[in-house]
Amino acid sequence: MSIIKRVFDRNTSPADDIEPWEKVGVKNPLAVKALVMEFTYLESMNESYAENGLSDDELEEALYEIFRRITELAGGSSVVYRKDEVPKVDYEIIQYWVKAQRCTRAWFGEIGERAWEHARYRLALTLRVENSYV
């Protein structure tokens, strides 16, 4: 069972095989599906890195790319911009962002932390720029 199932489907029975983007009430199914795929890539990299299948440089490059895509999804899928307010990212999107941060720190140490800090910077910058147009 992948980590994405364990993390986001804790309250469902094993027989309930519905994907996260197919659940009732999901507002951005395409974005959620894309985020699940990014998380699958992240989990796969964890396994490859643990087996010494990736060098530190390859890992860092791959993490930057995954986080670039996660940042684009988080910054563009469901953000609510209002004048004189902090932009708000919908929970169904940001939950993947938060879980990716936790897993990255646990799985990839300092390399993951550097890539994550860059992603945080990019998301904050994206949200500030987009909010400036409101």
**Predicted confidence (pLDDT) at residue 95 exceeds the cutoff of 60:** yes
Q: What is the pTM of this model?
A: 0.73
Nearest in space to 54 (alpha carbons), one of 37, 71, 66, 70:
66
More confident residue, 86 or 92: 92
**Predicted confidence (pLDDT) at residue 13 exceeds the cutoff of 70:** no
Local structure of 88: helix, strand or coil: strand
**Predicted confidence (pLDDT) at residue 1 exceeds the cutoff of 50:** no
Residue 9: band (very low, low, confident or very high) from pLDDT cuts 50, 70, 90: low
> Which residue is listed with tokens 């400036």?
132
Nearest-10 crossing angle of helices 91-131, 29-50: 100
More confident residue, 41 or 127: 41
